[in-house]
Amino acid sequence: MVKLVNLVKTLRSKNAGPFLTTMDIFFEDRESYERVKNSGVITKELVAKLYGIPINDVVGLYYYDPAMGIKITIIKPHGWISGDPENTDVLGCSQHVPLQDIEIP
């Protein structure tokens, strides 16, 4: 088992508008990309659990082979909406942290 953060080149989050947060995962080599893709570990269920949101709010989980990239998009939970009083991260660029420790076989 290895933590996701140790397999990636890029692991980032950002707003896709004020109501969606999108997380991008890119890899240095095709082997690591295929390893994560084929492991089947990253699922909508897992993302929902990590971010404490309903599964229907995980609106996208995509694999885009030409870029060796994985994209996860969620509807922001209360408190994440850009500029709301409770919001800590207007740009949404520090919300990737809960993904770092996902264990990949």
Partner 1 sequence: MLRELKDLSFVNMGYGWYPETVKEALKWEPDVIVGQGTSTDPGPGYLGSSDIYPYTERFNQKKDAEIIALARENNIPFIVSAGTPSGSNLHLEGFLRIVDEICKGSGIKFRAAVISGEVDKEYIKTKLAKGEKMRRLVDTPRVSEFLTLDEVDRSVKIVSQMGPEPIMKALGMDVDGVITGRALDVGLHMAMPLKRGFDKGLAAHMAKVIECGALAAVPEVIDIMFGILREDHFLVKAPNPSLRCTVRSVAGHSFYERPDPSKELNPGGYLDISEAKYEQVDERTVKVWGSKWVPSDKYFVKIEGIKPIGYRTINVAGIRDPRMIKHIDPFLESVSEEVRKRFAEVEEDYTLMFRVYGKNGVLSEWEPKKEITSHELCIITEAIAKTQELATAVVAYARGKLLFWNYPGRTTTAGNVACPYSPFDIKMGEAYVWNIWHLMELDDPCEPFKVRVVDFPRNKPWEGLK
Where on the chain is the footprint of partner 1 (CB under 8 A)? 14-20, 22, 24, 26, 51-52, 59-60, 62, 64, 66-69, 71, 73, 75-76, 78-79, 81-86, 88-91, 94-95, 97-98
**Closer Cβ to partner 1, 16 or 46, answer by number:** 16
What's the min distance (Å) between Cβ of 1 and partner 1? 18
Grouping H, G, I as helix, E, B as strand and the rest as coil, residue 98 is helix
The gap between the terminal CA atoms of the chain, to the nearest Å, is 4
**Closer Cβ to partner 1, 61 or 104, answer by number:** 61
How many whole angstroms separate alpha carbon 18 and alpha carbon 31?
34
